[in-house]
Amino acid sequence: MQHQKPEIETAIIIGGGIFGVSTAAQLVRMGVRVTLLNDGPLGTGASGRSLAWLNSARRRSPPYHAIRQAGMERYRSLASRNPGVNWLKFDGGLTWDADDSANEIAQIYRYERELGYEAELLSPQEVSARVAGVAGKAVTAQGAILNPGEGWVDLPTLIQILAADITKAGGTIITNEGQAELIVENGRATGAATAAGQSYRADAVLVAAGASGPAILAPHGVHIGDDTPIALLVETKPVSHPLRAVLNTPRIAIRPALNGAFFMDSAWSEEEVVVHEDGSFEAKPETVQGMLDAARKVLDPVPELEVAAIHIGPKPIPGDGDPVFGQVQALPGCFIAFSHSGATQGLIAGELLGEEIAYGIRHPMLQHFRPERFNT
């Protein structure tokens, strides 16, 4: 990090998930006085409901792949500074497709290899021999891709570590003040006001409020494409099981957790979440049971899985699927971080956004992800 005087003195961060906390940690290290506002406790939004799989698997654009790769590198550096921790692991990822005409595992394997992404194409028999805890018989005949460099992070733990860094460096974290709104004066973002009635002023404001980000900007004429679904994450009780890799299979994605539990999600389960008129969410018992059953089919030995907790809420996904990072040109003083895969990009996004906010550096890595693309 360069040692130069920031162009601003103060910054407000709206949002206490991984993007907000990571950026705040970078800013305080640069000498910016930071106030971070969150509607509730830190890390209880999308960051607390994330599978938190660290990856750049499957087919992504080269710019998106590059930022995810950089994100994974930052986590490897973090792991080297914290050897032996139980909240950050790089034990690989394994993925396979359904046995139908849409199966593109062979093509995905070639695409990943051509990008320089570490990948191996394994037969079902090789999966049984190579990847502990996986039922090779569940892998389709087309095979599975093993990505040895992938991993996972426990985001709530990381968020608390970064929050401690922020406060130690003199930053301020204010929680449980409800949703924040931008304060805009003479066409410039100058602060934020919370639902609790408090107002805070600063030279720059970062909106890192997860799924609420587009709505915070909308009253000020800024449109951010939004395709956010309601996602379901099932947490099991701890079990003794050899699985260490993250699994992404046709019916279920599974990752180990730091206490021996499993976290699980799936695309099909999102479609079955019940949204009530009062805005609350419900997971149908048969949906949760279907996820447990799907997990048992891909694990070996077959574990007895019991539900410890069900996490439901919006999963931030921009309208075109790509991240939204950087300065909002139509609203000086305002910046945004709004993206899926917050875990993978959390550290690198905070680093690049911190430089942009503090020093005015428009990093070329963010060129393809700027918010103005939705207004062209």
pLDDT in tens, 292-319: 999 999 999 999 999 999 999 999 999 9
Query: Hey, which residues does 263 pair with through a beta bridge?
Result: 235, 255
What radius of gyration do the chain's Cα atoms show? 21
- What is the structure's pLDDT at 169? 97
- What is the structure's pLDDT at 3? 65
Q: Helices 342-359 & 155-168, crossing angle to 10 degrees?
A: 20
Give me the mean pLDDT over the 266-284 stretch: 96
As given in the structure block, the two tokens for residue 178 are 């409800």
- What is the structure's pLDDT at 375? 85
The answer to whether residue 4 scores a pLDDT higher than 90 is no
Q: Ramachandran region of residue 40, left (φ > 0), alpha (ψ -120 to 50) or beta?
A: beta
Name the nearest CA neighbour of 250 among 264, 233, 267, 262.
267
Residue carrying structure tokens 């070996």: 300
As given in the structure block, the two tokens for residue 376 are 């062209």
Domain 90-149+227-314 in this protein, CATH class? alpha beta
- What is the structure's pLDDT at 70? 98
The answer to whether residue 2 scores a pLDDT higher than 60 is no
- According to DSSP, residue 249 is labeled -
The answer to whether residue 58 scores a pLDDT higher than 80 is yes
CATH 3.50.50.60 fits 10-48+155-225+319-375, yes or no: yes
The answer to whether residue 1 scores a pLDDT higher than 90 is no
Q: Is residue 270 very low, low, confident or very high in pLDDT (cuts 50, 70, 90)?
A: very high
**Averaged confidence pLDDT in the chain:** 97
Spatial distance between the Cα atoms of 264 and 271, rounded to a whole number of angstroms: 15
Query: Hey, which residues does 183 pair with through a beta bridge?
Result: 191
Q: Is residue 376 very low, low, confident or very high in pLDDT (cuts 50, 70, 90)?
A: low
Q: Output b/e per residue, 151-184; b: 16+ Cβ within 10 A.
A: bbbbbbebbeebbebbeebebebbeebebbbbbb
The answer to whether residue 63 scores a pLDDT higher than 70 is yes
Q: Helices 342-359 & 62-81, crossing angle to 10 degrees?
A: 90
Q: Is residue 75 very low, low, confident or very high in pLDDT (cuts 50, 70, 90)?
A: very high
Spatial distance between the Cα atoms of 234 and 232, rounded to a whole number of angstroms: 7
Residue carrying structure tokens 């692991």: 89
Distances (CA, A) of 340 to 24, 39, 125, 139, 244: 19, 20, 33, 27, 24
Residue carrying structure tokens 């992938």: 150
- What is the structure's pLDDT at 83? 95
Give me the mean pLDDT over the 247-265 stretch: 96
Spatial distance between the Cα atoms of 361 and 23, rounded to a whole number of angstroms: 14
Helix (H, G, I), strand (E, B) or coil at 288: helix
Q: What is the pLDDT of residues 127-175, one digit of tens each?
A: 999 999 999 999 999 999 999 999 999 999 999 999 999 999 999 999 9
Residue carrying structure tokens 């993925």: 95
The answer to whether residue 188 scores a pLDDT higher than 60 is yes
Supply the DSSP string of 62-114, one letter for each residue: HHHHHHHHHHHHHHHHHHHHSTT-SSEE---EEE---SSTT--HHHHHHHHHH
Domain boundaries, the chain: 10-48+155-225+319-375, 90-149+227-314
